[in-house]
């Protein structure tokens, strides 16, 4: 049974000339481009923790790969290979077929080769590992931010958290089928000083850049790009934006002299400076944001 399943996965996976050996042997063998470094990231999605039955198997397949690709986008890397570890309560061919369809359609969009994995029985969980390339020494990290750097984000922030809180009623694509920001990653990698993907919430993730770069950040709530559905929903919209997670947008810093290189669909939200941590301003007044992502609203919120 398990081998039928692996054969079915193999028959659908497209591989290119970078792969000498893909699914079917004891290990995969791939060719790394000359002058490049291997960039590796892995993430696990567990049923009941990272997804529930509001997501279709196809959406789960998409998201399992997307969250990993987002990490490589944050590194300025080009994803090339992926492995897929499936832990399944039972062999449900229909579920796996749908899951694989979602997974492989995203893989094909970015020409990523599924080269192996593992299939075991147990509570539903999915572990994906992506392997990508970056020119030697060119990886974008969290540590490179400089004092005075502008801070930018891609897309809109807070949509996924909003959708989750509102029982998937609006902006559900942002939650269930996030788009990894691989194109923008390639456009910014030549001039960005630091980068992270927003998976745990903007404050937490920008906070990682601050800590890693030994700097502070000041951001302005009004400048953060937020979908109007989120802003119109509740006076507490800023908690989705600042502390919600699952955005899979990029947050990066760069020198103001490179402003003309900023791609479309990016917004400047603040600036790096001395100090520690992230300070948030609304109407030019600092607003208090408790740790753990809880926000004490004040008069500056709608």
* Cα separation, 120 vs 105, whole angstroms: 23
> What is the torsion angle, in degrees rounded to the nearest 10, for the CA atoms of residue 127, residue 133, residue 138 and residue 139?
0
Whichever of 65 and 278 has its CB closer to ligand ADP, that residue is 65
Torsions phi, psi of 47, nearest 5? -60, 135
Cβ contact 159:175 at 8 Å: yes
User: 44 or 166: whose CB is closer to ligand ADP?
Assistant: 44
**Cβ atoms of residues 69 and 182 within 8 Å:** yes
Kindly indicate which of the ranges 115-123, 128-136, 142-150, 289-297 contains the residues binding Mg ion, using the contact rule CB under 5 A. 115-123
Hey, is 42 helix, strand or coil? strand
Spatial distance between the Cα atoms of 235 and 187, rounded to a whole number of angstroms: 35
**Residue 302, CA atoms < 13 Å, CB-side half-sphere:** 12
In the complex, residue closest to Mg ion by CB: 118
Per partner kind, with CB cut-offs from 5 to 8 A, the member of Mg ion, ligand ADP, none near residue 24 is ligand ADP
The residue among 9 and 64 lying less far from ligand ADP, judged by its C-beta, is 9
Nearer to ligand ADP among residue 6 and residue 30 (C-beta):
6
Which DSSP state fits 204? Answer: H
Nearer to Mg ion, 22 or 144 (CB): 22
CB of 58 to ligand ADP, least distance (A): 16
CB of 23 to ligand ADP, least distance (A): 4
- Which range binds Mg ion by CB under 5 A, 114-122, 137-145, 166-174, 238-246? 114-122
Comparing CB distances to ligand ADP, the nearer of 47 and 200 is 47
Residues 6+ apart with CB under 8 A from 286: 279, 280
Q: Which stretch binds Mg ion (CB under 5 A): 15-23, 111-119, 242-250, 282-290?
A: 111-119
Alpha-carbon torsion (54, 56, 59, 60), positive or negative:
positive
| Region binding Mg ion by CB under 5 A among candidate stretches 2-10, 84-92, 118-126, 261-269 | 118-126
Segment interacting with Mg ion (CB under 5 A) among 6-14, 64-72, 117-125, 150-158: 117-125
Told to check if 2 binds Mg ion by CB under 5 A, we report no
Residue 16 sits in the site that holds Mg ion (CB under 5 A): no
Nearest-approach distance from CB 55 to Mg ion, in angstroms: 26
Number of residues that bind Mg ion (CB under 5 A): 1
CA distance 206 to 223: 15
Question: 130, 69 in Cβ contact below 8 A?
Answer: yes
Alpha-carbon torsion (63, 65, 68, 74), positive or negative: negative
Let me know: does 282 contact 220? Beta carbons within 8 Å.
yes
Tell me which residues touch ligand ADP (CB under 6 A): 6, 9, 23-26, 84, 86, 114, 116-119
Q: Cβ closer to ligand ADP: 23 or 130?
A: 23
Asked if 118 is part of the footprint of Mg ion (rule: CB under 5 A), the reply reads yes
Residue ranges binding Mg ion (CB under 5 A): 118
């Amino acid at each position: 049974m398990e081998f039928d399943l692996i054969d079915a996965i193999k028959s659908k996976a497209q591989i290119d000339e970078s792969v000498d050996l893909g699914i079917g042997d004891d290990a995969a063998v791939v060719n790394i481009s000359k002058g490049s470094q291997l960039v590796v990231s892995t993430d696990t999605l567990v049923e009941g923790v990272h997804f529930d039955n509001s997501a279709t198997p196809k959406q789960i397949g998409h998201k399992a790969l997307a969250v990993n690709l987002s990490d490589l986008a944050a590194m300025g890397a080009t994803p090339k290979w992926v492995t897929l570890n499936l832990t399944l309560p039972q062999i449900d061919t229909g579920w796996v077929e749908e899951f694989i369809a979602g997974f492989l359609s995203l893989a094909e969009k970015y020409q990523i080769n599924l080269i192996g994995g593992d299939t075991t029985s147990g509570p539903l969980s999915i572990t994906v590992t992506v392997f990508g390339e970056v020119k030697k020494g060119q990886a974008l990290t969290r540590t490179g931010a400089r004092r005075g750097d502008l801070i930018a984000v891609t897309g809109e922030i807070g949509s996924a958290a909003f959708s989750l809180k509102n029982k998937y009623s609006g902006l559900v694509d942002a939650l269930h089928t996030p788009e990894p920001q691989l194109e923008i990653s390639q456009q910014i990698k030549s001039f960005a000083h630091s980068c992270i993907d927003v998976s745990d919430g903007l404050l937490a993730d920008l906070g990682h850049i601050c800590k890693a770069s030994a700097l502070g950040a000041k951001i302005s709530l009004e400048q953060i790009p937020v979908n109007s559905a989120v802003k119109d929903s509740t006076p507490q919209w800023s908690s989705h934006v600042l502390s919600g997670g699952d955005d899979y947008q990029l947050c990066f810093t760069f020198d103001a002299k490179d402003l003309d290189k900023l791609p479309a669909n990016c917004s400047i939200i603040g600036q790096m400076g001395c100090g520690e941590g992230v300070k948030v301003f609304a109407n030019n007044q600092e607003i208090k944001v408790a740790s753990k992502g809880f926000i004490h609203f004040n008069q500056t919120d709608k």
